[in-house]
Amino acid sequence: MQTEKLPRREREKLRQRQEMLAAAFDLFSQKGYHNVSMHEIAVKAEFAIGTLYRFFDNKEDLYKALVLEQCDKFEDAVARAIGDGDDEVEKLRNYVRTKGERFRGNLPFVRLFLAESRGASFNIKAGLDEELRKRYYAFLERLALIFDSGIKNKRFKNVTDPYHLAVALDSVVDAFLLLWLDAPERHPYPEDPDTILDIFLKGLVDP
Amino acid sequence: MQTEKLPRREREKLRQRQEMLAAAFDLFSQKGYHNVSMHEIAVKAEFAIGTLYRFFDNKEDLYKALVLEQCDKFEDAVARAIGDGDDEVEKLRNYVRTKGERFRGNLPFVRLFLAESRGASFNIKAGLDEELRKRYYAFLERLALIFDSGIKNKRFKNVTDPYHLAVALDSVVDAFLLLWLDAPERHPYPEDPDTILDIFLKGLVDP
Amino acid sequence: MQTEKLPRREREKLRQRQEMLAAAFDLFSQKGYHNVSMHEIAVKAEFAIGTLYRFFDNKEDLYKALVLEQCDKFEDAVARAIGDGDDEVEKLRNYVRTKGERFRGNLPFVRLFLAESRGASFNIKAGLDEELRKRYYAFLERLALIFDSGIKNKRFKNVTDPYHLAVALDSVVDAFLLLWLDAPERHPYPEDPDTILDIFLKGLVDP
Amino acid sequence: MQTEKLPRREREKLRQRQEMLAAAFDLFSQKGYHNVSMHEIAVKAEFAIGTLYRFFDNKEDLYKALVLEQCDKFEDAVARAIGDGDDEVEKLRNYVRTKGERFRGNLPFVRLFLAESRGASFNIKAGLDEELRKRYYAFLERLALIFDSGIKNKRFKNVTDPYHLAVALDSVVDAFLLLWLDAPERHPYPEDPDTILDIFLKGLVDP
DNA sequence: GATGAATGAGGTTTCATTCAT
DNA sequence: AATGAATGAAACCTCATTCAT
């Protein structure tokens, strides 16, 4: 973003917005949507509450903006990782590694999504906002393309639908990360991405 | 549970408790934790609100009891499925099938866990209550035992840690189910469990 | 109302309701609907604000209940006055006298309707709630019946529609009362009802 | 007003003021004083909110200016009507007709006074601002003069105080107009002013 | 033991007004 | 002079929890 090119007023506005989002981010990720008040956010962001409402229509709106912004960043990083790499296996390795790094290096981000889930959640990406869901599906398609290309190259055997493989890989990465989050020593996230990847590459039974 | 052996008074109490939990279940799964009031639950359960508080310390406590009870049922069914089957592959098939059936046949149960997640949730089973987490780990160990036994039998190649395989399989099943939940026509849950299982059994690359 | 016959609990409830209405009456009539807060009413009535909301759904609801209750009392008195009297002229005299007395003896009641009108109001009974309007029309019909009966008896000449006469008489009484309210010395309300009545009874021009 | 003679700067200011008042008029008459914000007025008038405050001390002040301006126009028209006509009856007819036309042809003006009255209003011109009240009394005196002159001419019998007659006539016209406003088909405003006037001219009982 | 009326802190949101630019 | 972003008090209303009956 070329914020430097914007008029001073616009830049200032953007900066304020970022400060509000930052304050909200901290609070929401620590306490969950329902346990944070607009008053609290305003105090933390050092703005009057009315100013908050000049930038966001309501609490829901603020939350959505926050989530989308965070997802943007995350997605960009992961998408870049998918792009990098000479062959399909390399690309998948980059994906597993990058997602792991990003996730573990940005715990508040993760908590933003988990903080609200009271007690338990069996889900992945369910209850997603329409917008977020669309993005997630688009991402899965991109991941599926790698498997597809690998199959077309004969680098991979044609055992299952590439989309299914994408769903599976992504969910397994999530699962390992969440185990790690819960008990890092008990469930260390594998430094070597092949630890996860091999589950898909090597079969359990011979053909 | 052998409720018949309990004194009449105790039996009565248990029945009341169940009615409260049933009412709470309906409401929480439909509207999410924060959008249900104790008053609402009391009305639906046809008890005075004060009576609710004789059975549960507070709203949080009621919710936890509810979640644990529901998980109990779910786990029992899935554990039974794991037990059934002549060989390891059969057991895994039963697991994939049963989890799918239970999940899809009990949507309110699923919503109980999802209703609250605002906007997004990348996670699986994170934010779990201590108790629930412990159970989940215990369940994973049981699932891992199947892979372990398969490896010891030479039915499976020894490609990865059995615990990792358990984590992976469980998360993939969840992922498919959540896709199905979100858009059943677009993401039909496979009738044949092998569709999912093959991802793990057949490898993508030759050894 | 036979409040003594009601169960104690009901009686208590009714008493509380009356206290709330009384507090609201005072405040609304002094400051107008928009300048009174629910908090203020709660404090004045010596109840918690939540208790207020157990009796009335919201501020609007409380206001309506108040207005209707006050109108009930007023209407009853005026209706009784219309009933009393041997002939039509006597009935009309009673009406003019009673309305004057009631009105002047219950200033807060009057202010309840005027307090809100900011600055000015050319109207009478406009902006009335559906319910109130219906009542008002019903009352006019009753007043018209007196003129009608007078005409049928030949006691009155048949110069205009009785309903018009009713509208006219009522509005003139209101007008005199409002002038009095504004400046009692300058515009004393006539002790003798004939002062007002004669406007209608005696014509300005000979037939 | 001879705006052409004023310096350009003054003329400009006056024009701006009129635009503000026009915007406020539309909004207040549609939604009532309390349901219109200064922000809304500023946007509609296409001025900055701060500029609004350079012309009017506060919201109340703006409202008063608006009401007074509107009353001016209305009064002028009605006063002219009173002046016109060869004899007293003709003058009164003109008054009844003109007030009816003005009122019915300028509904927003009427709503300006009614929009705020919550639920009910028994009043006419009560709660009037000091200034408005003075004007209203002055107008009544003018109307009374017609009756007075009629009596002095022997055109009218001397049955009551001319001022009383003025009050009565004005209030009756108001009453008919408000009935019409509320339900035009049910209460059509009489095309022929004599329908109203006759109530005062012809008596109900013979002398 | 069961009841549910009462509580009041605290939630979200609005808006008249100010004042630095 | 004109602007409009910023302010924050205050509005309405909800609801988890208590406790006298």
CATH of the domain at C180: 1.10.357
CA dihedral for D83, D84, D86, D90, sign (positive or negative): negative
**DSSP annotation of D37:** -
Rounded to the nearest 5 degrees, what angle is found at the Cα of B172, between the Cα atoms of B169 and B173?
A: 85
Residue of chain D nearest C173, judged by CA positions: D168
Q: What is the pLDDT of residue B124?
A: 34
Average pLDDT over every residue of B118-146: 68
Q: How many CB atoms lie within 10 A of CB A190?
A: 18
User: Is D163 at the interface with chain C, CB within 8 A?
Assistant: no
Q: Which of A27-41, B112-126, B172-186, D76-90 has the highest mean pLDDT?
A: A27-41
Say yes or no: A44 and A125 in one domain: no
Return positions of chain E under 7 A from a protein CB. 1-20
User: Is B126 at the interface with chain A, CB within 8 A?
Assistant: yes
Residue of chain D nearest C180, judged by CA positions: D126
Question: How would you label D125-157 residue by residue, b for 16+ Cβ within 10 Å and e otherwise?
Answer: bbbbbeebbebbbebbebbbbbbbebbeeeebb
Residue of chain B nearest A109, judged by CA positions: B122
Q: Å from B196 to nearest chain A CA?
A: 8
Q: How confident is the model at residue A73 (pLDDT cuts 50, 70, 90)?
A: confident
Average pLDDT over every residue of C166-180: 90
Among candidates B71, B122, B160 on the partner chain, residue whose Cβ is nearest the Cβ of A125: B122
* Count: domains in chain D: 2
Say yes or no: A23 and A113 in one domain: no
Q: What is the pLDDT of residue C183?
A: 83
Q: What is the pLDDT of residue C122?
A: 40
Average pLDDT over every residue of B103-126: 64
Instruction: Report yes or no on A61 lying in a domain.
Output: no
Q: What is the CA radius of gyration of chain C?
A: 20
Q: How confident is the model at residue D125 (pLDDT cuts 50, 70, 90)?
A: very low
Nearest-CA neighbor of C145 among C174, C169, C111?
Answer: C169
Residue of chain A nearest B176, judged by CA positions: A167
User: Is D48 at the interface with chain C, CB within 8 A?
Assistant: no
Say yes or no: C132 and C32 in one domain: no
Instruction: Report yes or no on C131 lying in a domain.
Output: yes
Q: What is the pLDDT of residue B206?
A: 60
Is A117 in Cβ contact with B127 (below 8 Å)? yes
CA dihedral for B149, B153, B156, B158, sign (positive or negative): positive
Instruction: Report yes or no on C62 lying in a domain.
Output: no
Say yes or no: B164 and B193 in one domain: yes
Say yes or no: B78 and B166 in one domain: yes
Q: Which of A49-53, A118-122, A178-182, D8-12 has the highest mean pLDDT?
A: A49-53
Q: What's A46's domain CATH number?
A: 1.10.10.60
Average pLDDT over every residue of B100-108: 89
Q: What is the pLDDT of residue B125?
A: 40
Asked if strand F contacts A58 at the CB level, meaning under 7 A, the answer is no
Percent of chain D with pLDDT over 70: 88
Residues of chain D contacting residue C167, judged by C-beta atoms under 8 Å apart: 172, 175-176, 179
Say yes or no: D127 and D192 in one domain: yes
Give the global pTM: 0.87
Q: What is the pLDDT of residue D204?
A: 56
Select the more confidently predicted residue: D80 or B56: B56
Q: Which chains touch D (3 or more CB pairs under 8 A)?
A: C
Name the H helices within chain C: 8-31, 38-45, 49-55, 59-83, 88-104, 107-114, 130-152, 162-182, 194-201
Return positions of chain F under 7 A from a protein CB. 1-20
Q: Å from A80 to nearest chain B CA?
A: 19
Does B28 score more than 50 pLDDT? yes
Residues in chain A: 207
- Can you tell me the distance from the alpha carbon of B48 to that of C194, in angstroms, rounded to the nearest whole number? 63
Cβ pair D125, C178 in contact under 8 A: yes
Q: Which of A30-44, A77-91, A128-142, C84-98 has the lowest mean pLDDT?
A: A128-142
Could you please report the per-residue DSSP string of A74-138?
HHHHHHHHHH-SSSHHHHHHHHHHHHHHHHHT-HHHHHHHHTTS-S----SSTT--HHHHHHHHH
Does D189 score more than 70 pLDDT? yes
Q: How confident is the model at residue C199 (pLDDT cuts 50, 70, 90)?
A: confident
Average pLDDT over every residue of C121-127: 38
Q: Which of A50-54, B185-189, C125-129 has the lowest mean pLDDT?
A: C125-129
Say yes or no: B162 and B132 in one domain: yes
Helix, strand, coil in percent for chain A, rounding step 5 = 70, 0, 30
Say yes or no: D106 and D129 in one domain: yes
Among candidates D110, D181, D203 on the partner chain, residue whose Cβ is nearest the Cβ of C202: D203
- Can you tell me the distance from the alpha carbon of B173 to that of B189, in angstroms, rounded to the nearest whole number? 9
At B5-15, the pLDDT tens digits run 777 778 888 99
Structure tokens of C79?
Answer: 């209706």
Does A123 score more than 80 pLDDT? no
Amino acid occupying residue C41: I
- Can you tell me the distance from the alpha carbon of C158 to that of D34, in angstroms, rounded to the nearest whole number? 47
Q: How confident is the model at residue B42 (pLDDT cuts 50, 70, 90)?
A: very high
Q: What is the pLDDT of residue D39?
A: 95
- Can you tell me the distance from the alpha carbon of A162 to that of A153, in angstroms, rounded to the nearest whole number? 13
Q: What is the pLDDT of residue B92?
A: 93
Say yes or no: B41 and B109 in one domain: no
Distance C34 CA to F14 C1' (A): 21
Find the domain containing C190 and state its range.
Answer: 68-201
Average pLDDT over every residue of D184-195: 89
Instruction: Report yes or no on A1 lying in a domain.
Output: no
Question: How would you label C10-26 residue by residue, b for 16+ Cβ within 10 Å and e otherwise?
Answer: eeeeeebbeebbebbbb
Start-to-end CA span in chain B (Å): 51
Does A204 score more than 60 pLDDT? no
Select the more confidently predicted residue: C6 or C139: C139
Instruction: Report yes or no on D135 lying in a domain.
Output: yes
Phi and psi at residue A113, in whole multiples of 5°?
Answer: -90, -20
Instruction: Report yes or no on C111 lying in a domain.
Output: yes
Among candidates C156, C164, C204 on the partner chain, residue whose Cβ is nearest the Cβ of D156: C204
Does B203 score more than 70 pLDDT? no
Say yes or no: C18 and C42 in one domain: yes
Q: How confident is the model at residue D203 (pLDDT cuts 50, 70, 90)?
A: low
Q: How confident is the model at residue A186 (pLDDT cuts 50, 70, 90)?
A: confident
Average pLDDT over every residue of D61-73: 88
Mean pLDDT over each residue of chain C, to the nearest integer: 85
Say yes or no: D25 and D73 in one domain: no
Mean pLDDT over each residue of chain A, to the nearest integer: 84
Domain boundary among C10, C33, C56: C56
User: Is B50 at the interface with chain A, CB within 8 A?
Assistant: no
Asked if strand F contacts D50 at the CB level, meaning under 7 A, the answer is yes
Question: Which residue approaches E16 most closely, CA to C1'?
Answer: D38
Find all residues with CB under 8 Å of A88, minimum gap 6, and list them. A146, A147, A149, A150, A153, A155, A156
Q: What is the pLDDT of residue B121?
A: 38
Percent of chain C with pLDDT over 90: 40
Q: How many CB atoms lie within 10 A of CB D76?
A: 10
Instruction: Report yes or no on B44 lying in a domain.
Output: yes
User: Is B128 at the interface with chain A, CB within 8 A?
Assistant: yes
Cβ pair C82, C166 in contact under 8 A: no
**DSSP annotation of D5:** G
Q: What is the pLDDT of residue D117?
A: 56
User: Residue D116: is it exposed, middle or buried by C-beta count within 10 angstroms (0-12/13-18/19+)?
Assistant: buried
Residues of chain A contacting residue B117, judged by C-beta atoms under 8 Å apart: 113, 116-117, 121, 123, 126-127
Say yes or no: C22 and C105 in one domain: no
User: Is C160 at the interface with chain D, CB within 8 A?
Assistant: yes
Instruction: Report yes or no on B45 lying in a domain.
Output: yes
Q: What is the pLDDT of residue A129?
A: 67
Does D86 score more than 90 pLDDT? no
Asked if strand F contacts C157 at the CB level, meaning under 7 A, the answer is no
* Residue pointed to by tokens 């008195």: C77
Does A115 score more than 70 pLDDT? no
User: Is B199 at the interface with chain A, CB within 8 A?
Assistant: yes
C-alpha B54: how far from its chain's center? 28
